[in-house]
Amino acid sequence: MQRRDFLLSAASGAAAASDARYTREAKFYDKLPHKKIKCKLCPRECVIDDRERGYCGVRENRGGVYYTLVHSRVVAAHVDPIEKKPFFHFHPGSTAFSIATAGCNVNCKMCQNWDISQVRPEQVTSNYLPPEGAAEVAARYHCASIAYTYSEPVIFFEYMIDTAERAHAAGIKSAVVTGGYIQPEPLKLLCGKVDAIKVDLKAYSEKFYRETVNGELKPVLNALVEMRKLGMWTEIVYLVVPTLNDGEQEFRGLARWVRTYLGTDVPLHFSRFHPEYLLKNLPPTPLSTLERAHSIAAAEGLHYVYIGNVPGHPAENTYCPKCRRAVVERTGFAVRATHLKKGNCEYCRQPIAGVWEG
């Protein structure tokens, strides 16, 4: 998306001196005595005093009523290849109109987008892009989907839900890129509105979640299981951070858990870490570590294991689990060739799990 178009779509954004247009009563919270509230959107369950905000920084208690401050308040908007999210089994080769607001419900020390995820909405430049505007821009740019990404879409839940509804009405799908730190009830509602969810599983240890993410692993695992139960197309990305979550036992434990609770058809992407934010002291992930993770997960029986952030690596391709031939060939975010017919391997007719057309 060109800067000019974004600004035009945000036509009156510059005049948004008041935050009223961005403010909606939040879903999922309990009112407590003395004008306090308890947020029920994510497992953190922040108890928030009047005039205070939750951990995410974008939901505020005003006189005992809880509000989201980021509805239609977009801080980033781009037309991206869907492979950039990454989704490898969801309309490959298509583009996604990708949007984000400020805020996040965790604080990962390796965050690559901390300048929008770890700030309050009023601390960054934003533009007004209501749900119908987002759907309109996506259609104008022939995007197959809208992706809710970059920061953490759980914290702009209301905007995401409203936008997904508008997008569906225009024949556009919705894909969510999330940490998966969400309560069951909102997750259920979300799964009824969107078409695919990619979960950034930060590690397979509570220690890493506690010390590096400021969150918890168990609710994320529970959310993944629930997504699959609800029939949601799900992919997992695991950012491999040197010395912190790169143990062989952790890779194996993760692969076994995915196989047991989600099934062998859930794609698992091992991505290369680059030094960012509060972990600038660590080096990029060695390729050998990523390849070790890949081979462990494949050996555990997962059908679709990838290596990410290493453009040109053969593990960017999708291979048929039966005949082992490449059915989707990629370099970086570009799809070079597909060998699928109605979701089946062109060579051996083996069904390849995913959302391929429609």
Partner 1 sequence: MDARLSRREALGVLGAPLAAGTKSKVVVAHGAGMNETALLRALDNAMRACFDVDTSVEAWRRVVKPGEVVGLKVNCLSGKGNSTHVVLVEALCHRLQEAGVPAKNIVVWDRLNSDLESAGFRPSTNPNRVRYMGNDTLGYGSELATHGEAGSLLCRTLTDVCDAVINLPVLKDHGIVGVTMALKNMFGAIHNPNKYHINVGDPYVADVNMLGPIRRKVRLHLCDAISAQYEGGPSFMPQWTWPFNGLLVSQDPVALDTVGWRIIEQKRAERGMPPLKAARREPTYIARAGGPGYRMGVSDPARIARVEV
Stretch 327-346: interaction string toward partner 1, x if CB under 8 A: --------------------
Q: How far is the CB of 107 from partner 1 (least distance, A)?
A: 5
- φ, ψ (nearest 5 deg) of residue 11: -25, -55
Q: How far is the CB of 179 from partner 1 (least distance, A)?
A: 15
**Considering the rule CB under 8 A, would residue 185 count as an interface residue with partner 1?**
no
Answer whether 175's CB lies under 8 Å from 90's CB. yes
243 vs 281 by CB, closer to partner 1: 281
Q: 72 in the Ramachandran plot: left (φ > 0), alpha (ψ -120 to 50) or beta?
A: left
d(CA 238, CA 204) in angstroms, rounded, equals 9
**Considering the rule CB under 8 A, would residue 277 count as an interface residue with partner 1?**
yes
Q: How far is the CB of 352 from partner 1 (least distance, A)?
A: 42
The pair of structure tokens assigned to 271 is: 């991505």
The pair of structure tokens assigned to 299 is: 């050996």
Answer whether 232's CB lies under 8 Å from 224's CB. no
150 vs 233 by CB, closer to partner 1: 150
Strands 340-341 and 344-345: antiparallel
- Judged on CB neighbours under 10 Å (0-12, 13-18, 19+), 324 is exposed
**Considering the rule CB under 8 A, would residue 120 count as an interface residue with partner 1?**
yes
Q: How far is the CB of 319 from partner 1 (least distance, A)?
A: 41
Q: How far is the CB of 280 from partner 1 (least distance, A)?
A: 10
d(CA 94, CA 83) in angstroms, rounded, equals 8
Strand partners, 37: 31, 48
SS3 label, residue 207: helix
Q: Which of residues 71-110 bind partner 1 (CB under 8 A)?
A: 107, 109
60 vs 316 by CB, closer to partner 1: 60
Q: 275 in the Ramachandran plot: left (φ > 0), alpha (ψ -120 to 50) or beta?
A: beta
**Considering the rule CB under 8 A, would residue 248 count as an interface residue with partner 1?**
no
Q: Which amino acid is at 16?
A: A
33 vs 312 by CB, closer to partner 1: 33
Which residue's structure tokens are 């225009």?
170
Tell me how far CA of residue 345 lies from CA of 247, 324, 334, in angstroms. 34, 10, 20
Q: Which range in 116-124, 186-194, 309-317, 321-329 contacts partner 1 by CB under 8 A?
A: 116-124
Q: Which of residues 201-220 bind partner 1 (CB under 8 A)?
A: 214
Q: Looking at 22, 28, 55, 304, which residue binds partner 1 (CB under 8 A)?
A: 55
Q: How far is the CB of 209 from partner 1 (least distance, A)?
A: 13
Q: Which of residues 28-47 bind partner 1 (CB under 8 A)?
A: 34-36, 47
214 vs 338 by CB, closer to partner 1: 214
Q: How far is the CB of 120 from partner 1 (least distance, A)?
A: 7
Kindly list the residues in this chain that would bind partner 1 in the complex (CB under 8 A). 34-36, 47, 49-57, 107, 109, 118-120, 122-123, 214, 277-278
